Structure 1
Amino acid sequence: MDSDLLKAFVAVADTGGFSAAAKLLNRTQSAVSLQIKRLEEHMGTPLFARTSRTVALTPAGTRLLPYARQLLRLQQDAHAALSRDLPPERIRFGLTEEHAAAYLPGFLATLAEAYPEVQVEVVCDVSSELVERFKAGKLDLVLAVRHQPTKTGRVLGVEPMIWVAREDFDYSEDMVLPLALNPDGCLFRAHALAAVGRIGRAWREPYVSQSPTGINIPVRSGLAITVKTPRSLPPECCDVGARFGLPALGLAEIEMHVSPAQIGDAFQYLVDLVDTQCRRGTAG
């Protein structure tokens, strides 16, 4: 059975649409549609039920999906066994800088021990940009903070958002809150500004940075307050929400995006590692 047809089938099943699958596979939507048509003709039965707005697996498609994954995995194994001189497996892994600081050392060390020849290209950026790169087929695996539901995002858990300042921050109830936040598009920023807006608290924004370092320095220097998760507390800083009477911020959902076009053993190992470690490190 043609592996390209199976890859297209798995991609459409995982993303829930032909357009999203085409981006992941770096093909046109019409090419993916043609591949699915050829596979359905080969199998002698429809594999997807299509409407103008949705694409869903038929009972036959649901039965085929685990076999398709297994066939692709077996093909990868056979190819590796017969082609020892091929370049090492390459994984494009995108995650936020704070997730990288918390998890990446463990991920890379464990992966290198199991698959010493694997090549990992690490891309750090804000969550929204990482998801867009994934949708465009430029990343194989993404660990991000969920901004909105997507067809490819798998929620691993939730983390509380907290107000963070230096332990000896000079606070008064009538002060204009000095905030250090990420630029527009950041979920933490949106929650922070919505929260102070609800209580009518005056605020200013002397520090804006996309980099955690650019945020942490003024916060650690006692110059500003920011929003983080408990896992990302900078040294000499603490949760000051209750002490300063600041409004609750809610929860951040941590999600993973996995490309169906990547089927290598090292990639599957990293996916399982990220899933396990991040579920252990978050609630929910």
Structure 2
Amino acid sequence: MLIDSHCHLDALEFNQEQDTIVKEALDHGVEKIIVPAVNRKSFDDVINLRKKFPNCFYALGFHPMFINDMKDDDLDTLQSYLKTYEPIAVGEIGLDFFVTKDNKLLQEEIFVAQLKLASAFDLPVIMHVRQAVDDVLKNLRRYPVRGGIAHAFNGSMQQAEAFIELGFKLGFGGAMTYSRATHIQFLAKTLPIESIVLETDAPDIPPSWLGHGRRNAPHELHQIATFFAELRDMNLDSVIEVSHQNTLDALPKIVQLCTSSKNLH
């Protein structure tokens, strides 16, 4: 079964339709959905999704595009939540120098603080790395963590290899399905299959068959996996099996939570 390794199921675009969205995902073979928080408000939202849908798992962190709105005690709150609840990762964290570089120092400060928390709690990280790959890698070398996922990867082959060497998986989704996305397709086709996880980033990054501006959803992952299988000339079942295992390797707490849940019944 497929795992959507990155989906913002709590986003306003889904507008209380989560029951339908999750059912449709399951109907299309998407067994698990990883939901990363982006700001303080979404901490409680993603935790509540896990309570409602046992096949949803959450990460907690501050997205670089939301850090200007952070309050002074927000990092302390994150630390408290990491201690109290059961996130599978710290995320979505990282750097984004595409939208703005005006707060570059603040972005790095918050990113480093969250890397330190991930290390302290022995959690992997789910990272946003848009037009900031070298800076992300620089900070990971200074403040190592137990791996995780570089989401929506679009760096160079050399940068991809650097992430893999540091123990990370690379996320690929709808962006690779566009005919002009030759570089992303080259990476998806060429990188070791063991280094790749599949994602939607729903409601964002809609695949080509939806078109720009349309709402993406986790059930689209099945067709994304089909595209990926054809790109690599692989059997779809093999792609599903390998990408599933890769996601569990990147986020091992999923297995622990599933095991403990079974033991309760």
- Give the structure with the higher percent strand: 1
Same fold (TM > 0.5): no
TM-score range, shorter chain: under 0.3
When normalised by structure 2's length, the TM-score is: 0.23
Name which one, 1 or 2, has greater alpha-carbon Rg: 1
When normalised by structure 1's length, the TM-score is: 0.22
